[in-house]
Amino acid sequence: MAKRSRSRRTNMKNTFTSIISAALFLVMVGCSQAQSANEPAPAKIDMEGGKTIQSYLDSLAAENKLSGAVLVAKDGVPIASKASGVANKATNAPITLETKFNLGSTNKMFTGIAITQLAQAGKLDFNDPINKHLPDYPNKDVGAKVTIHQLLTHTSGMGSYTNDKFRAERTKLTTIAAHFPLFVNDPLSFSPGEKFEYSNSGYMVLGAIIERVSGQDYYAYIRDHVFRPAGMTNSGFYEPGKKIPNLALGYTRMGPDGQPTEQVRENTDTLEIRGGPAGGGYSTVGDLVKFHDALRSFKLLNRDYTELATKGKVDALGPIGRYAYGFSDKIFDGKHIVGHNGGWPGVAANFEMYPELGYTSVILMNTDPPAMMPVIMQLRKFIPAN
């Protein structure tokens, strides 16, 4: 009985890890070459291309293949959009373009931008070890070895805290520090810098560094230095007991134990209770277009540091591009794409910027990640290469 129990827990952990890894794969598919971000070009709206994309999105909704919102913009101007499905089955509230969705790991971009802002201000260096800014970090060996650059690029050797202990303690994890006992005593899985291996734990440490260096808690820092400058008025983080208007609930075929179920169910008993540096905040398709605009117009970082944050630095697994500081960076079908996605049971989010072409593609869905994959691939094909 004990042996079967251990095996079941291992399978649960592997199932959740597979979902996250598969979702990351979706956003980074492409060849491993990277190009630098350029200054925005003058607006040139491709209305014909927009009609093609709009027709495709309309067909998805007509065939009940879209439970979410999609927005494609050129130089910040929407050229195609669609919202379809139900945001809350209990109230039958419809999904609209203003609906807020869980971002999953997509908001790792915000953590990457925050760290890069602090570097631009001279408050930290990417080669600093963890213990320079967190001298009380419980794991002294890891604190001395792992650098900020390695945390940002998933090359630290740290793993992911979304384990059995996370599921048991989930409702108590309302601060960055509360997450540390989930992973700080774990040994590194490889020598820092040796290879890429996706790490949610590493991004939680980055959140603690942001708090220590800036003097603000992570949530306030992102609000004041990312969301407000970008005009992202519909983005934020969950707060237990606080009602968030226009919020989509997630629906999944995964049980709270990580095992598949026959029935679709709410995902609220598997989510981060608040969200944070590694993922789990919320936003809208329109706000994410504003995020791209803020990056392109250098409202968040100057030109050099914008390129530094978004330019690929390490090869990820297989033909999935290169990873930068909270962004993937790749070439797909001759088009340069920078962005990130997020996946979890009942969460499917994808954000892509085409720096040289000026396009933004945002997909937010309240269903399991596989439903998003064909939409990502089709939009990439429809967006013109020039």
Cα–Cα distance between 176 and 198 in angstroms, integer? 19
| Residue 30, beta-bridge partner list | 320
Question: Which helix or strand (DSSP H or E) is residue 335 part of?
Answer: strand 335-344
Q: Is 5 helix (H, G, I), strand (E, B) or coil?
A: helix
Average pLDDT over residues 59-66: 96
User: Could you tell me if 124 and 213 are in contact, meaning their C-beta atoms sit under 8 angstroms apart?
Assistant: yes
What is the maximum alpha-carbon separation in the chain? 66
* pLDDT reading at 131 higher than 50: yes
Cα–Cα distance between 161 and 107 in angstroms, integer? 17
Residue 124 Cα distances to 114, 209, 303, angstroms:
11, 9, 19
pTM greater than 0.85: yes
Q: What is the pLDDT of residues 80-97, one digit of tens each?
A: 999 999 999 999 999 999
Give the model's pLDDT for residue 7.
41
Give the model's pLDDT for residue 48.
66
Q: How confident is the model at residue 31 (pLDDT cuts 50, 70, 90)?
A: very low
Q: What is the pLDDT of residues 279-297, one digit of tens each?
A: 999 999 999 999 999 999 9
User: Could you tell me if 356 and 383 are in contact, meaning their C-beta atoms sit under 8 angstroms apart?
Assistant: no
* Mean pLDDT, the chain, integer: 88
Q: How confident is the model at residue 33 (pLDDT cuts 50, 70, 90)?
A: very low
Average pLDDT over residues 123-143: 97
Domain annotation for the chain: domains and CATH numbers: 23-382 (3.40.710.10)
Give the model's pLDDT for residue 247.
97
Q: How many CA atoms lie within 13 A of 331 on its CB side?
A: 9
Higher pLDDT, 22 or 269: 269
Residue 204 phi, psi (nearest 5): -65, -40
Task: Provide the token pair at 174.
Answer: 């309302």
Q: Provide the H-helix boundaries in the chain.
A: 2-28, 47-62, 108-120, 130-133, 140-145, 148-152, 164-169, 176-179, 200-214, 218-222, 228-230, 285-296, 303-310, 373-382
Give the model's pLDDT for residue 50.
87
Cα–Cα distance between 133 and 330 in angstroms, integer? 32
Higher pLDDT, 41 or 152: 152
Average pLDDT over residues 301-305: 98
* pLDDT reading at 252 higher than 80: yes
